[in-house]
Chains A and B, each alone.
Chain A
Amino acid sequence: GENVEQHPSTLSVQEGDSAVIKCTYSDSASNYFPWYKQELGKRPQLIIDIRSNVGEKKDQRIAVTLNKTAKHFSLHITETQPEDSAVYFCAASKGSSASKIIFGSGTRLSIRP
C-alpha cells in the first residue's frame, strides 16, 4: 500500500547551520508533496509544497527537491534559527483525484543556540 518513510526521526543542528530531512514514497502515482511544521501542542501548518512537474522549489530559507525517478524528496532549511525547532512532516498525495495525504512519521528538529 501507500507508504511514506521519513528520516531522520530526530535532528539537532547548531543555529545558523543547515538542516536536511529526507523522505521516500512508494506510490509512483503520487504527484503532490507538501511539508508541514508542527509546534508542540499546535496544528500542522503547511510550510512549502511541490508538485511532480518541478524538481525544486525555494521559499526564502526553505527549499524542497524532488527526484521522481528515485521517489525521493527532501526539505532543506538554511541558516537555521531557534524558531525552526518543531516536528516536520513530509507527505505525499495523488493530487488531482479524490486523494488522501499520506504522512511520514515526522522529524523532531532541535536548533542548538
Chain B
Amino acid sequence: NAGVMQNPRHLVRRRGQEARLRCSPMKGHSHVYWYRQLPEEGLKFMVYLQKENIIDESGMPKERFSAEFPKEGPSILRIQQVVRGDSAAYFCASSRREGRTDTQYFGPGTRLTVL
C-alpha cells in the first residue's frame, strides 16, 4: 500500500524559471492538501483540492502560484517565475474524508532551491 508520493524530491531552479511539483495521493484518497515549510519553521497551509475542484486556496499567494488536481493523474503545484523566497520544502498530504475521517498523511516533500 503505497503512501503519498511526491516528485521530484529535490528541485533546483534559477530565478524566473517555472517549478512544477507533483503529488500522488494514497490509494483511495481523493483529497489533497499542499503545505509550505520554510527552514526551521512550521507548516503553512496553501491549498486544498478535490478531483477537478479547488476547495480552499486561502493560503496561496495571489500571484505566480497555482494548483490543480485533474481527473486523471497527480495533483500539481505550479510556481511561475520563481524567486529566492520560494525556496522551501513543499509537502502534500492526502485524506480520505469519508464521514469524519480527516487524518492527513504526508508525502516526503519536494525541496525547492532557487538560485
Contact = CB atoms under 8 A, between A and B. Distances in A.
What's the interface size class on A, roughly? 20 to 34
A105 B37 CA distance: 10
A43 B45 contact: no
B43 A44 contact: yes
Interface of A: 32, 34, 36, 42-46, 49, 51, 89, 93, 95-96, 98-106
Given A43-B91, A43-B109, A100 B103 contact: no
Which of A93, A101, A102 has the most B CB atoms < 10 Å from its CB?
Answer: A101
B45 A51 contact: no
Contact of B56 (A34, A89, A98): A98
Contacts of B105: 46
Contacts of B104: 34, 46, 101
Contacts of B103: 34, 46, 49
A101 B42 contact: no
B52 interface: no
Which of B35, B55, B58, B102 has the most A CB atoms < 10 Å from its CB?
Answer: B102
